[in-house]
A and B are shown apart, each in its own frame.
Chain A
């Protein structure tokens, strides 16, 4: 076993390795380009400047990062809301209601978790094209919204809620919709929050799908836009790092406030194996 001092030193080194690059990204974004590309590199900026951000955050610029930011925010929020509605209603039926084919349906939904995602990319592109959704926000919001993981995750949670809550509501004359919205959902806030955060993160960070279904520069999401930015300013590292940092801030903030839920959700997803 490691000695006490070695143990803490080891953790400190690991912490620098894991947080260091993220801090480096921010420090570079507030340097001037000559300083960012200086050899040997300086650690703290000599004269910090937000110049890189000023150009990026202008709505009318040729690389409208603020517009991409808003596009990403809209798509991720709508996607998250849709996942919550679709997964919670389906999970409620699968967990608490009885109907023919329930078992088979659940097996079919869960078995799609084992099909790798790339199988759906090419045919989904065609379907999105047929629907006339190419280059619109709907292409980002809807296709991934039927989350098999979400249904599985919420079903497990709903199944564990005590039946007495339901009985009491039934005696008070509530119908199933009222039981769902007034009893089951309010008692499932941790599970719903976990799913909300995970689906927001996934949509915000998605890269493959947006770079193929979006074309107009003003409709891109941040990850897709960053790729353009890299091509346009290959050597202006403060600008590129500022763009990357703008794309990171919302998820880092979200993570700091909800990390207990996120980590819990991930560790639960592992327990299904």
Chain B
């Protein structure tokens, strides 16, 4: 600010505020306001149907940790479903796009076209993807079992003791396999593009130097590509975990939370509690607890990536 003293006055003092005002009005009403209101709600018995919303302090939070409360089972079942989905899908969504990005980073005709092809499913909405996969995964008439049958793999599966037709939606572990596979299909293009941007920032001289030193393809990957992508990898892992924690539409549309309650994710539980049972204080507490969990996971990741780096520099 001090440096502006010598500059000529370019605008009236209120001009910047006039430019900021429309954004700030909406930002305060629908971003900052709700964040604070949510905290306030989580400290009250905020039943939408009641006239009074008595202050209950941390009771809504305590109930989530009290195994005798009504919400305990439901909430942690949801957290478990979200955790299972995250643990199962993140490795695929980190590794497969990395492989694809390395493939697409090679120079060949039509490279841009293939970038677009792999990204295309990402522009579809979850409602469309959910309906499409529900149809394709139908055990009797779905194309997935149809193709397995067509190539004769069903006999192999049967001899391995697999139920036929495969109940993709109505039995575990098939339901999780289906949800993870469709999510990978749907969102993989996003991470691929981010890796590609990262790969293009690695100087070609590093690869040339590695080749001169006689490094194999794998050694180049380990000692040039991976270190060069460290920041990008951290970003990809973080946003993929965040996106997995938001899992909602796939489970609602394809498995409807089933079989049993196994795919009823934290977000389905939270929105059911808040917008179907109208216990909004309890739902707000759930959302903050889940957000805190995610914050902790992110911090651990940043620390872990830092730790891993040190020995490499010393060696």
Verify that A and B bind, or say they do not.
Answer: yes
List residues of A whose CB falls within 8 A of some B CB.
Answer: 1, 7, 10-11, 14-15, 17-19, 21-22, 24-25, 28, 36-41, 82, 85-87, 89-90, 92-94, 97-100, 102, 105, 108-109, 112, 115-127, 142-146, 148, 151, 170, 175-176, 180, 201, 204-208, 212, 222-224, 226-227, 230, 237, 240-241, 243-244, 247-248, 251-252, 254-256, 259, 262-263, 266-271, 273
Residues of A within 8 A of B64 (CB): none
Give 6 nearest A-B pairs by CB, closest first: A273-B235, A205-B125, A270-B194, A223-B127, A90-B23, A267-B197
Main secondary structure of the interface of B (DSSP, over half): helix
Residue of B nearest to A94 (CB): B20
Task: Find B127's partner among A25, A108, A180, A226 (CB 8 Å cutoff).
Answer: A226
The smallest C-beta distance from A60 to any residue of chain B, in angstroms, reads 23
Residue B173 is within 8 A (CB to CB) of chain A in the complex: no
Q: Which of B235-249 contact A (CB under 8 A)?
A: 235-236, 238-239, 242, 245-246, 248-249
A23 vs B1: C-alpha distance when bound (angstroms): 57
30 contacts between A and B (CB under 8 A): A14-B100, A18-B117, A22-B120, A24-B143, A40-B149, A82-B26, A94-B20, A97-B16, A108-B32, A117-B246, A119-B38, A119-B287, A120-B35, A121-B275, A122-B284, A123-B284, A124-B34, A142-B26, A170-B10, A201-B123, A205-B127, A207-B127, A230-B131, A251-B125, A262-B123, A263-B193, A266-B190, A267-B197, A271-B197, A273-B238
Residue of A nearest to B40 (CB): A123
Main secondary structure of the interface of A (DSSP, over half): helix
Interface residues contributed by chain B, number (CB under 8 Å)? 88
Q: Pick the interface stretch among B65-73, B83-91, B133-141, B202-210.
A: B133-141
List residues of B whose CB falls within 8 A of some A CB.
Answer: 1, 4, 10-11, 13, 15-17, 19-20, 22-24, 26-27, 29-35, 37-38, 41, 100, 103, 108, 114-121, 123-128, 131-136, 140-141, 143, 146, 149-150, 185, 190, 193-194, 196-198, 217, 231-232, 234-236, 238-239, 242, 245-246, 248-249, 253, 267, 270-271, 274-275, 280, 283-284, 287-288, 290-291, 294
The smallest C-beta distance from B91 to any residue of chain A, in angstroms, reads 19
Residues of B within 8 A of A41 (CB): 141, 143, 146
A22 vs B115: C-alpha distance when bound (angstroms): 17
A243 vs B130: C-alpha distance when bound (angstroms): 12
Residues of A within 8 A of B31 (CB): 112, 120, 146, 148
Assuming the contacts A18-B185, A123-B41, asked whether A116 and B118 have C-beta atoms less than 8 A apart, the reply is no
Assuming the contacts A93-B16, A120-B38, asked whether A15 and B114 have C-beta atoms less than 8 A apart, the reply is yes
A121 vs B30: C-alpha distance when bound (angstroms): 10
Residues of B within 8 A of A40 (CB): 146, 149-150
Task: Find B249's partner among A17, A87, A201, A207 (CB 8 Å cutoff).
Answer: A207
State whether A97 touches B19 (Cβ < 8 A): yes
Residue of A nearest to B119 (CB): A263
